[in-house]
Amino acid sequence: MLFEPGGTECSSGALMQAYTEIRVMLENLRHSRDSLRQAASERLRHTTEKLREVTSVTEQAATDILDRLDGALRLVDELDGLDTGGSEAAAAARNRLRDELYVAQGGLQFQDIAAQQLAHATQMIEQIEVRLASVAELLDPRALVASSPALPAEPADSRSLAFAPTATMSNPEARQALADRIFEAPAA
Protein backbone atom coordinates (compact mmCIF):
# COMPACT_ATOMS: atom_id res chain seq x y z
CA MET A 1 0.00 0.00 0.00
CA LEU A 2 1.06 3.54 -0.74
CA PHE A 3 0.02 6.65 1.10
CA GLU A 4 -1.33 9.87 -0.35
CA PRO A 5 -0.09 13.25 0.94
CA GLY A 6 -3.15 13.50 3.26
CA GLY A 7 -2.23 10.24 4.93
CA THR A 8 -4.85 8.02 3.29
CA GLU A 9 -4.03 4.76 1.62
CA CYS A 10 -3.81 4.54 -2.16
CA SER A 11 -3.65 1.25 -4.06
CA SER A 12 -1.06 0.66 -6.75
CA GLY A 13 -3.92 -0.01 -9.18
CA ALA A 14 -5.32 3.46 -8.55
CA LEU A 15 -1.85 4.96 -9.05
CA MET A 16 -1.44 3.07 -12.31
CA GLN A 17 -4.85 4.26 -13.47
CA ALA A 18 -3.97 7.87 -12.55
CA TYR A 19 -0.60 7.55 -14.25
CA THR A 20 -2.27 6.20 -17.41
CA GLU A 21 -4.83 9.00 -17.42
CA ILE A 22 -2.10 11.62 -17.00
CA ARG A 23 -0.13 10.12 -19.89
CA VAL A 24 -3.21 10.20 -22.14
CA MET A 25 -3.88 13.81 -21.14
CA LEU A 26 -0.25 14.76 -21.84
CA GLU A 27 -0.41 13.10 -25.24
CA ASN A 28 -3.63 15.00 -26.01
CA LEU A 29 -1.97 18.24 -24.90
CA ARG A 30 1.02 17.56 -27.16
CA HIS A 31 -1.32 16.83 -30.06
CA SER A 32 -3.23 20.07 -29.36
CA ARG A 33 0.04 21.99 -29.17
CA ASP A 34 1.13 20.61 -32.52
CA SER A 35 -2.22 21.56 -34.08
CA LEU A 36 -1.96 25.09 -32.69
CA ARG A 37 1.60 25.45 -33.93
CA GLN A 38 0.54 24.22 -37.37
CA ALA A 39 -2.29 26.77 -37.53
CA ALA A 40 -0.14 29.62 -36.30
CA SER A 41 2.85 28.96 -38.50
CA GLU A 42 1.24 28.06 -41.81
CA ARG A 43 -2.38 29.07 -42.25
CA LEU A 44 -2.26 32.41 -40.49
CA ARG A 45 0.96 33.48 -42.16
CA HIS A 46 -0.41 32.48 -45.55
CA THR A 47 -3.55 34.51 -44.88
CA THR A 48 -1.61 37.63 -43.90
CA GLU A 49 0.54 37.28 -47.02
CA LYS A 50 -2.58 37.08 -49.19
CA LEU A 51 -4.11 40.15 -47.53
CA ARG A 52 -0.92 42.11 -48.18
CA GLU A 53 -0.91 40.91 -51.78
CA VAL A 54 -4.51 42.07 -52.28
CA THR A 55 -3.62 45.47 -50.81
CA SER A 56 -0.64 45.82 -53.12
CA VAL A 57 -2.55 44.78 -56.25
CA THR A 58 -5.48 47.12 -55.55
CA GLU A 59 -3.10 49.95 -54.74
CA GLN A 60 -1.31 49.48 -58.06
CA ALA A 61 -4.60 49.28 -59.99
CA ALA A 62 -5.96 52.41 -58.29
CA THR A 63 -2.73 54.28 -59.03
CA ASP A 64 -2.91 53.26 -62.70
CA ILE A 65 -6.54 54.39 -62.93
CA LEU A 66 -5.74 57.72 -61.26
CA ASP A 67 -2.91 58.27 -63.75
CA ARG A 68 -5.31 57.62 -66.65
CA LEU A 69 -7.90 59.99 -65.18
CA ASP A 70 -5.23 62.69 -64.78
CA GLY A 71 -4.34 62.19 -68.45
CA ALA A 72 -7.99 62.53 -69.44
CA LEU A 73 -8.27 65.77 -67.44
CA ARG A 74 -5.22 67.13 -69.25
CA LEU A 75 -6.88 66.28 -72.57
CA VAL A 76 -10.01 68.16 -71.52
CA ASP A 77 -7.82 71.15 -70.68
CA GLU A 78 -6.24 70.83 -74.13
CA LEU A 79 -9.69 70.86 -75.70
CA ASP A 80 -10.38 74.12 -73.87
CA GLY A 81 -7.38 75.66 -75.65
CA LEU A 82 -8.41 74.30 -79.03
CA ASP A 83 -11.95 75.68 -78.86
CA THR A 84 -11.33 78.96 -80.68
CA GLY A 85 -15.00 79.40 -81.54
CA GLY A 86 -16.02 79.79 -77.88
CA SER A 87 -18.97 77.44 -78.19
CA GLU A 88 -20.98 77.45 -74.97
CA ALA A 89 -22.27 73.94 -75.67
CA ALA A 90 -18.73 72.62 -76.16
CA ALA A 91 -17.53 74.36 -72.99
CA ALA A 92 -20.49 72.94 -71.03
CA ALA A 93 -19.76 69.44 -72.35
CA ARG A 94 -16.10 69.73 -71.37
CA ASN A 95 -17.10 70.94 -67.90
CA ARG A 96 -19.47 67.98 -67.48
CA LEU A 97 -16.71 65.63 -68.63
CA ARG A 98 -14.27 67.24 -66.20
CA ASP A 99 -16.82 66.84 -63.37
CA GLU A 100 -17.33 63.17 -64.25
CA LEU A 101 -13.56 62.58 -64.20
CA TYR A 102 -13.29 64.21 -60.76
CA VAL A 103 -16.13 62.00 -59.48
CA ALA A 104 -14.31 58.95 -60.84
CA GLN A 105 -11.15 60.02 -59.01
CA GLY A 106 -13.11 60.41 -55.79
CA GLY A 107 -14.56 56.95 -56.24
CA LEU A 108 -11.07 55.51 -56.04
CA GLN A 109 -11.06 56.25 -52.31
CA PHE A 110 -12.23 52.65 -52.01
CA GLN A 111 -8.65 51.49 -52.36
CA ASP A 112 -7.38 53.54 -49.45
CA ILE A 113 -10.28 52.45 -47.25
CA ALA A 114 -9.93 48.82 -48.36
CA ALA A 115 -6.19 48.95 -47.65
CA GLN A 116 -6.85 50.30 -44.17
CA GLN A 117 -9.40 47.59 -43.44
CA LEU A 118 -7.10 44.88 -44.79
CA ALA A 119 -4.26 46.27 -42.67
CA HIS A 120 -6.52 46.05 -39.63
CA ALA A 121 -7.47 42.46 -40.47
CA THR A 122 -3.80 41.58 -41.02
CA GLN A 123 -2.85 43.05 -37.66
CA MET A 124 -5.62 41.06 -35.95
CA ILE A 125 -4.44 37.84 -37.60
CA GLU A 126 -0.86 38.52 -36.53
CA GLN A 127 -2.05 39.04 -32.95
CA ILE A 128 -3.98 35.77 -33.09
CA GLU A 129 -0.84 34.07 -34.40
CA VAL A 130 1.19 35.35 -31.45
CA ARG A 131 -1.53 34.36 -28.97
CA LEU A 132 -1.87 30.87 -30.42
CA ALA A 133 1.88 30.44 -30.16
CA SER A 134 1.66 31.51 -26.52
CA VAL A 135 -1.04 28.93 -25.86
CA ALA A 136 1.03 26.27 -27.58
CA GLU A 137 4.01 27.28 -25.45
CA LEU A 138 1.91 26.87 -22.32
CA LEU A 139 1.05 23.35 -23.38
CA ASP A 140 4.67 22.29 -23.86
CA PRO A 141 7.16 25.14 -23.44
CA ARG A 142 10.36 23.11 -23.81
CA ALA A 143 9.39 21.50 -27.11
CA LEU A 144 8.06 24.72 -28.65
CA VAL A 145 11.02 26.90 -27.66
CA ALA A 146 13.52 24.34 -28.92
CA SER A 147 11.86 23.59 -32.24
CA SER A 148 10.10 26.66 -33.59
CA PRO A 149 11.36 29.98 -34.92
CA ALA A 150 10.49 33.10 -32.97
CA LEU A 151 7.36 34.90 -34.14
CA PRO A 152 7.65 38.58 -34.97
CA ALA A 153 6.75 40.82 -32.04
CA GLU A 154 5.47 43.52 -34.38
CA PRO A 155 3.89 43.35 -37.84
CA ALA A 156 6.47 43.19 -40.61
CA ASP A 157 4.71 45.87 -42.63
CA SER A 158 4.53 49.22 -40.85
CA ARG A 159 1.54 50.17 -43.01
CA SER A 160 -0.50 47.57 -41.16
CA LEU A 161 -0.43 49.85 -38.11
CA ALA A 162 -1.97 52.78 -39.97
CA PHE A 163 -5.65 52.10 -40.31
CA ALA A 164 -8.95 53.67 -39.47
CA PRO A 165 -11.36 50.97 -38.25
CA THR A 166 -14.25 53.32 -38.99
CA ALA A 167 -13.21 54.03 -42.60
CA THR A 168 -16.15 53.53 -44.92
CA MET A 169 -17.50 54.33 -48.36
CA SER A 170 -21.04 54.70 -46.93
CA ASN A 171 -22.91 58.01 -47.08
CA PRO A 172 -20.66 59.78 -49.62
CA GLU A 173 -22.87 62.89 -49.68
CA ALA A 174 -22.35 63.59 -45.98
CA ARG A 175 -18.61 62.93 -46.25
CA GLN A 176 -18.35 65.29 -49.23
CA ALA A 177 -20.35 67.98 -47.42
CA LEU A 178 -17.97 67.72 -44.45
CA ALA A 179 -14.94 67.98 -46.75
CA ASP A 180 -16.48 70.98 -48.50
CA ARG A 181 -17.08 72.73 -45.17
CA ILE A 182 -13.48 72.06 -44.09
CA PHE A 183 -12.00 73.47 -47.28
CA GLU A 184 -14.38 76.30 -48.05
CA ALA A 185 -12.80 79.75 -48.03
CA PRO A 186 -13.64 81.88 -44.99
CA ALA A 187 -16.01 84.76 -45.71
CA ALA A 188 -14.22 88.10 -46.10
User: For 48-95, how does the pLDDT look when each residue is reduced to its tens digit (9 = 90+)?
Assistant: 888 888 888 888 998 999 999 999 999 999 998 888 888 899 999 999
pLDDT reported for residue 49: 86
pLDDT reported for residue 168: 63
The per-residue b/e assignment along 15-33, b for 16 or more CB within 10 angstroms, e otherwise, is eeeeeeeeeeeeeeeeeeb
CA 106 – CA 13 distance, rounded (Å): 77
DSSP 10: E
Domain boundaries in the chain?
11-150
Q: Diameter of the chain by CA atoms?
A: 115
pLDDT-based confidence at residue 158 (cuts at 50, 70, 90): very low
pLDDT reported for residue 67: 93
Query: Among 29-33, 73-77, 149-153, 174-178, whose mean pLDDT is lowest?
Result: 149-153
